[in-house]
Amino acid sequence: MLWLLLCLGRSLSGPLMAPYLAFPCPGSGHELVGIVGGCDVSARSYPWQVSLRVYNRTVGRWIHCCGGSLIHPQWVLTAAHCVKLKSLQASAIMVQVGQLRLYDHDKPTKVSKIVRHPDYNQILSAKGGADIALLRLEAPVSLSPHIRVVSLPPASLTVPERKMCWVTGWGRVTVHSPLPPPYHLQEVEVPVVGNQVCNQHYRKISNNTKPIKDDMLCAGSKGQDSCKGDSGGPLVCLWKCSWVQVGVVSWGHRCALPNFPGVYTRVTSYVSWIRQYVPLSPGP
C-alpha cells in the first residue's frame, strides 16, 4: 500500500487518481490506500460496501475519497485517518450506498456525526493504531438486496493465519494506475498473515521494533492487495457460513509487494467500542 499525505498536498511520483474517481478525504493521512490483482464484483455482491464522498468545487460534485462499510442502517464503519482532522464537520462528508459503479445514479446520504476512536493519534496517523471511526447517517438507509449490513465478528474470534478473506474497493489497480471507467467495484482474495511474521517484514523498513500492533491485522500477497483509494473499506471473511468484517483498510508499504501485506485495523479489538454507539442491526 501507499503512504500518502494527499490532503496535505503530498502525492506519489506519477499521476493522481482520475479526477472523477478519487480525491482525498478531508484530513486523510498518508496511509490513504485500490485493489491490485482483482476483478469486477458481480451484481449483489458486497452490499455493505459504501463510498465516502467529499465535495469538489472544481468539478461541482461529490467525489470518492475512501471506502467504508454499512454495519447498521444508520452507521458506517471506516478508518479514522479518512476523517482525521478534528475540525472536520460531519456536513463535509457524504456516504453513497448500494453502488457497484461509482457515480452511477448517485444519491448520497448526509452524515450527522463523526466518531473517531479516542486512542487514534492524529500525528502518528494509522501507524499509531486505533485507526477506526464511525459515521452516523442523518437517516437510516432502506435495506434491500443491494443494500445490506455486514456482520461484525465476536470479540473473541481469532482469525487464523493463511485464512483466505476478501477486500473490496474503488482504489488504484496498480501503484500508478487508477481504476478506469466505469469505476466498477473491485474485489480480491487475500491470505491473512500472522502478526509475528508481518512484524518481521515491516521491521526492515521501520525504526519501530513492533510496527504491527496487536490491534492490527495483516493480509495480502504479491500481486494481491488493497491500495490507494481503498482506505476505510472492509476486509471480510467467511465464518460459520456468514460474512463477517474482520478488518478495515488502514496502511501498508506501497501496493502488492512480496513480504509486505496490507495492514488493517483488527475489528475484533474494537467490537465493544463500536457497540457503545451502534446497536445491533435489525437485519434486512
Identify the H or E element spanning 51: strand 49-56
Q: Specify whether 40 is catalytic.
A: no
Based on the fold, state whether residues 196 and 95 are members of the same structural domain: no
Mean predicted confidence (pLDDT) in 210-239: 94
Catalytic residue among 30, 64, 72, 81: 81
Q: Are 190 and 71 found together in one domain? A: no
Q: What is the pTM of this model?
A: 0.87
Percent of the chain with pLDDT over 90: 75
The span from the CA of 50 to the CA of 64, in Å, is 10
Average pLDDT for 196-225: 95
Active-site position among 51, 226, 231, 250: 231
Flag whether 277 is in a domain.
no
- Alpha carbon distance 164, 174 (integer Å): 21
- Tell me how far apart the alpha carbons of residues 36 and 187 are, in angstroms, rounded to a whole number: 9
Shared-domain flag, residues 186 and 250 = yes
**pLDDT 10s digits, 74-114:** 999 999 999 988 788 999 999 999 999 999 999 999 999 99
User: What's the domain range around 126?
Assistant: 6-31+47-137
Annotation says 112 is catalytic:
no
**Total structural domains within the chain:** 2
Q: Using alpha carbons only, what angle is made at residue 97 by residues 106 and 56, rounded to the nearest 5 degrees?
A: 50
- Judge whether 231 counts as a catalytic residue: yes
Catalytic residue (choose from 28, 117, 125, 131)? 131
CATH of the domain at 175: 2.40.10.10
Question: How confident is the model over 132-190, as pLDDT tens digits?
Answer: 999 999 999 999 999 999 999 999 999 999 999 999 999 998 888 889 999 999 999 99
